[in-house]
């Protein structure tokens, strides 16, 4: 046998050995899998309960927005008029103790203003109406966060005296809402545990551990019903400062807990 044939023979031997090893591994896996045929996961006895909790808190901040809209023949004129009125309102708001970080612009827009004239119709045709550029509208909306609620009424009076006529979206909120949510969630967990223990006692078993937990608290707190300004939008006049009651807010939490029992 020459060297070339000898090399081919050795390669064939190694291939045969590797094939035998591969088949042996596959066979062992298949034999092990037979032990699991017809066997499912171990059954764990459990009970599932829902818990509901709530926490009551007094809102400590208020937010509202005010808007201006000015019209002029040119963009520059309209912007100058709008800026003067906004700056006057902002100065008055800051004078009442509102910090710069609690004031932000929600929107700012510049739009052409058109007048439409109807065309004279003849017996045979009626041309479409014509639009004529008559100037530009500049609008800006500012949102203000009020941390000292005792000054809320005075702020509306101040803005009214600054020439701002429209206030929108007055809402009262809890600044650190996460801490109130945590209280409501703890209350909900305790409620679920009490229910689970009652069921376990009735069944003659005991709670072992928590197997799963789900927090379904999407809507955490009830929005405060607006009062004193007639709804979402109000026209302010420079008269007596309105009284703004903030009321209370109820934060709710809902949880689902599954317990292992024995």
**Selected residue with higher pLDDT from 200 and 168:** 200
Mean pLDDT of the chain: 79
CATH of the domain at 219: 3.30.110.170
Q: Residues 147, 224: one domain?
A: no
Q: What's the pLDDT at 230?
A: 36
User: Is residue 23 situated within a structural domain?
Assistant: no
pLDDT tens per residue, range 58-103: 888 888 899 999 999 999 999 999 999 999 999 989 988 899 999 9
Which residues does 221 contact at the CB level (< 8 Å), separation at least 6? 174, 177, 180, 249, 250, 251, 252
pLDDT at residue 245 is higher than 60: yes
Q: Which of 157, 173, 189 delimits the end of a domain?
A: 173
Q: Residues 65, 168: one domain?
A: yes
**Selected residue with higher pLDDT from 142 and 151:** 142
Min mean pLDDT across 13-17, 186-190, 247-251 is at 13-17
Q: What's the pLDDT at 123?
A: 67
Strand partners, 69: 139
For residues 159 and 167, is the Cβ–Cβ distance under 8 A?
yes
Residue closest to 191 by CA, chosen among 23, 31, 52 = 52
Q: What's the N-to-C CA distance of the chain in angstroms?
A: 75
Q: Residues 90, 159: one domain?
A: yes
User: Is residue 17 situated within a structural domain?
Assistant: no
The total of structural domains in the chain comes to 2
Q: What's the pLDDT at 234?
A: 43
Q: Which of 158, 173, 188 delimits the end of a domain?
A: 173
Q: Residues 70, 165: one domain?
A: yes
Which residues does 11 contact at the CB level (< 8 Å), separation at least 6? none
Which of the four pLDDT bands, split at 50, 70 and 90, describes residue 233? Answer: very low
Q: What's the pLDDT at 162?
A: 80
**Selected residue with higher pLDDT from 13 and 135:** 135
Taking each helix axis from N to C terminus, what angle separates 75-95 and 152-161, rounded to the nearest 10 degrees?
150
With 0-12 / 13-18 / 19 or more C-beta atoms within 10 angstroms meaning exposed / middle / buried, residue 234 is buried
User: Is residue 36 situated within a structural domain?
Assistant: no
pLDDT at residue 142 is higher than 70: yes
Q: Residues 104, 141: one domain?
A: yes
CATH of the domain at 78: 3.30.70.2970
Q: Residues 49, 104: one domain?
A: no
pTM: 0.58
pLDDT tens per residue, range 151-180: 777 787 788 788 888 888 778 888 888 999
Read off the pLDDT of each residue in 136-157 and give the average, rounded to a whole number: 87
User: Is residue 206 situated within a structural domain?
Assistant: yes
Q: What's the pLDDT at 66?
A: 92
Q: Residues 184, 150: one domain?
A: no
pLDDT above 70 as % of the chain: 71
> Which of the given ranges, 121-135, 156-170, 202-216, has the highest pLDDT on average?
202-216
- Supply the range of the domain harboring residue 82: 61-173
Q: Residues 143, 160: one domain?
A: yes
């Amino acid at each position: 046998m020459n060297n070339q044939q000898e090399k081919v023979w050795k390669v064939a031997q190694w291939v045969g050995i590797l094939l035998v090893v591969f088949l042996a591994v596959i066979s062992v896996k298949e034999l092990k899998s037979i032990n699991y045929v017809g066997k499912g996961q171990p059954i764990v006895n459990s009970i599932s309960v829902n818990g509901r909790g709530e926490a009551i808190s007094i809102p400590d901040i208020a937010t509202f927005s005010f808007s201006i809209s000015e019209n002029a023949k040119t963009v520059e004129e309209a912007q100058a008029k709008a800026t003067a009125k906004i700056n006057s309102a902002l100065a008055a708001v800051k004078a009442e103790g509102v910090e710069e970080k609690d004031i932000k612009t929600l929107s700012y827009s510049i739009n052409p203003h058109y007048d439409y004239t109807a065309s004279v119709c003849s017996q045979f045709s009626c041309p479409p109406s014509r639009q004529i550029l008559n100037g530009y509208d500049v609008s800006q909306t500012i949102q203000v966060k009020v941390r000292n609620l005792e000054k809320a009424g005075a702020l509306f009076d101040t803005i009214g005296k600054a020439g701002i006529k429209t206030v929108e979206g007055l809402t009262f909120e809890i600044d650190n809402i996460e801490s109130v949510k945590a209280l409501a969630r703890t209350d909900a967990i305790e409620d679920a545990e009490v229910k689970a223990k009652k069921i376990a006692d009735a069944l003659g078993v005991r709670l072992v551990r928590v197997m799963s937990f789900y927090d379904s608290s999407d809507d955490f707190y009830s929005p405060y019903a607006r009062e004193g300004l007639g709804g979402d939008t109000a026209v302010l006049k420079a008269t007596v400062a309105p009284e703004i009651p903030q009321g209370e807010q109820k934060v709710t939490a809902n949880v689902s807990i599954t317990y292992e029992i024995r």
